[in-house]
Amino acid sequence: MRATDFEFRHRFWVICLVYFLGFGSYRFDPVNSAVGLAHWILGARDPHLESLAARHVLQALFVLSASLITVAAGIRTWGGSYLRAEVVQDSVVRTERLVADGPYRHLRNPLYLGNMFLAAGFALLLSRVGGVILIVGNLIVVLRLIGREEAALAESQGEGYRAYLNAVPRLWPSLAPRIPKGDKRPEWPQAFLGEAWIWCFALDGFIFAWLMNFRIYFPILWITGFVYFGVMMAMKWQRRRKSRLPVAGSPSANLS
């Protein structure tokens, strides 16, 4: 199960499509997942969810949602701190070196595990059908992307990477590190900047769980998404601009 070149190059949009389908499912399943769970928890005692107990149950479920998104942000920030931002967002598989420090001593794909926690958190904000679409769809996309990355790394890194595959789990982390610690140091500022949008989603979720007001939640959600998209496009433009600049000492640089 491997992603195609097109899927990997446009993986951001593929994942966005899964979220779009999940949110769009409210058209044919109007019942929110958290509301459905609250009905199941309270049963016949409060069929219309009008009691204070029902509000507290819903708030607890939305706190759970925000907590899962927080875990996603933490895992992705930890993993991203050992990678450069351009590696995380690159449109091609980067195989020039193997990162085996930090979370990569416990599992091979911490960023994709973070994606799954993010999907689980948002699933409680979608309809029942939408939640299933989001989790299953993300799992399929993640496994296809992992398949492509691992095949490319095995080809470029050889036996060293195959030993890493045998020692470290793919997506379910080991509590104890499976390989010795290396000398790579985390770069936390760039990691937090790269994952700031997920931290904003988590904060937005906690605010919503407190106020229970979608009029506040969705504007913050969409503004955060648009800001992230703008920052990502700006970073890509800057990287392309730098790649086009002549290197000092090259024939083109010496013409000026």
- Answer whether residue 149 is part of any domain: yes
Model pLDDT, residue 243: 61
pLDDT in the model for residue 242: 65
* pLDDT for the residue 87: 45
Residue 252 falls inside a structural domain: no
pTM of the model: 0.84
Q: Which two tokens stand for residue 214?
A: 């979608």
Count how many domains the chain has: 1
pLDDT, residue 218, reads 73
**Type of residue found at 225:** G
pLDDT, residue 74, reads 97
Domain residues for 155?
A: 5-245
Residue 106 falls within a domain, yes or no? yes
Q: Using alpha carbons only, how large is the chain's radius of gyration in Å?
A: 21
Which residue in 112, 114, 120, 113 sits closest to 136, CA to CA?
A: 120
Decide if 228 is inside a domain. yes
In-domain check, residue 251: no
**Would you state the pLDDT for residue 33?**
96
3-state secondary structure 189-217: HHHHHHCHHHHHHHHHHHHHHHHCCHHHH
Give the whole-angstrom CA distance, residue 213 versus residue 162. Answer: 50
Residue 250 covered by a domain: no
Residues of the chain with pLDDT under 70: 84-98, 235-236, 238-239, 242-256
